[in-house]
Amino acid sequence: MANPKTSYRGRRVKILATVGPASRSPEMIARLLRAGVDAFRVNMSHGDHATHAETIAHIRAAEKDFGRPVAVLCDLQGPKLRVGTFAEGRARIRHGAHFTLDRDPAPGTEERVCLPHPELFGVLRPGQRLLIDDGKLQLRVVRADADAIVTTAEVGGMISDRKGVNVPDAVVPVPALTEKDRRDLAFALEHHADWIALSFVQRPEDVAEARKLMGNSGTALVAKIEKPAAVDRLEEIIELSDGIMVARGDLGVELNPEEVPPLQKRIVEATRRSGKPVIVATQMLESMIESPAPTRAEVSDVANAVYDGADAVMLSAETASGAWPVEAVTIMDRIGKQVEADPGYAARIHFTDVRPDATTADALAQACANIADTVTLAGIIVFTGSGSTARRVARERPAVPMLVLTPSPRTARRVALLWGAHAVHTREIGSFEEMIAKGKRMALRHGFGAAGSKLVTLAGVPFGVPGSTNLLHVVTLTGQELEKGED
């Protein structure tokens, strides 16, 4: 009989929840797992390493108690461009007035303020924009030289100490990894984070630098697409990454609001074609930071991401600092299940044309999806060491869920962010007969069918050899498999 804690949730899209003051206690982490969380995001922008280490320990303890692999994603802060300070802590920039950003460290006034980022003075040109405080103030560059950037306030207002600056019209010559990020990355690797999210990605070289620092750690890398410059080189960035996050918060600041939805769809589609997981993030259920129920627009927003075939949808402040973290996860879980139960869901999710590569593994993954469309199946069983076979199957978005059996606990955790995948850490197999017996046993144990159910098994022979996926086999459950064998 299937264990409710460890069995398949009945939902293909995954839920990534941010941990914070409202959710980092062992009790709350357990409640969020029960509500439907598949992976936790640790935001390195807030808190210290001691707090993060304690949080990760709580997640691992809950994972052990539940018997379900849980991914930990550490999200690096990235460089933050900010203005300096003001003589009175704040000032008013008048609409239509000139306002200067310079290298003078003296306290700011209504006419000027220090911009302590010398690299910006060499790249800004007349006509380009500067957005202050998440776009609340909009400045247009009139003149720029080595010491001062003179702007006109197209949208004025109050500005205060150290407000953030966005530069949407230029590639900023700032590395994606600051010294703080390097320390945070080393911490995350030391604590065996399953995924690293890289902020402020503008070019493929940013991703390559992070990968070099990560080495052969076994940790996967997500590139956050939050800068317009990254969109121009999207395919190259996807190629170098293990996954992509559509970070709509900063994209929404640097682009016009109406530009973000089609861009989100473009990023999701391009990433899906690559066979890598894609996460849609930021402000998905924003009102639930304070309200126990979302708006109808927010529900539609989450539903659209599910219809587009995103691998995961993310909660930020809703679970990190909000008043209703469990309710936010519960609502997101319900939205995912409702959308996936829609008779039109299959047609919508296959609107993206995903073509397999000319390899045996890709051909077999596509065959699994075709069989699921032709024969009534309870699921697809995938034996994998690295997770690559599971990614190939997930790219096809098959009509049935996928039971991923792996001897690697790190692979099982990474797969927790993969569409339709239910991962189980199990022992190595040594023969075809053992593979079939174990596949059937695990299928019954984790809620993939009952006596008489058919499943497709996908694996590689010889066993334990990476990249050897070459075997597809259809099995039928008898219901007697649970009486014998071990994990």
Q: How many residues can be counted in the chain?
A: 487
Please state the φ and ψ torsions of residue 220, each to the nearest 5 degrees: -90, 155
Please state whether 313 falls in left (phi above 0), alpha (psi between -120 and 50) or beta.
beta
Contact 458, 364 (CB under 8 A): yes
224 is catalytic: yes
282 is catalytic: yes
Three-state DSSP at 37 gives: coil
Contact 100, 145 (CB under 8 A): no
> Which ranges of 375-429 would DSSP assign to H, the alpha helix?
388-395, 409-414
Exactly one of 34, 60, 82, 266 is catalytic; which is it?
82
Contact 400, 458 (CB under 8 A): no
Whose structure tokens read 């144990």? 445
Please state the φ and ψ torsions of residue 17, each to the nearest 5 degrees: -115, 135
CB burial class (10 A; 0-12, 13-18, 19+) of residue 140?
Answer: middle
Exactly one of 14, 24, 41, 248 is catalytic; which is it?
41
Exactly one of 282, 384, 411, 426 is catalytic; which is it?
282
Contact 47, 71 (CB under 8 A): no
Q: What is the spatial distance between Cα 361 and Cα 449, in angstroms, rounded to a whole number? A: 25
Q: What is the spatial distance between Cα 198 and Cα 95, in angstroms, rounded to a whole number? A: 36
Exactly one of 24, 129, 224, 395 is catalytic; which is it?
224
426 is catalytic: no
Contact 188, 177 (CB under 8 A): no
Catalytic residues: 41, 82, 224, 282
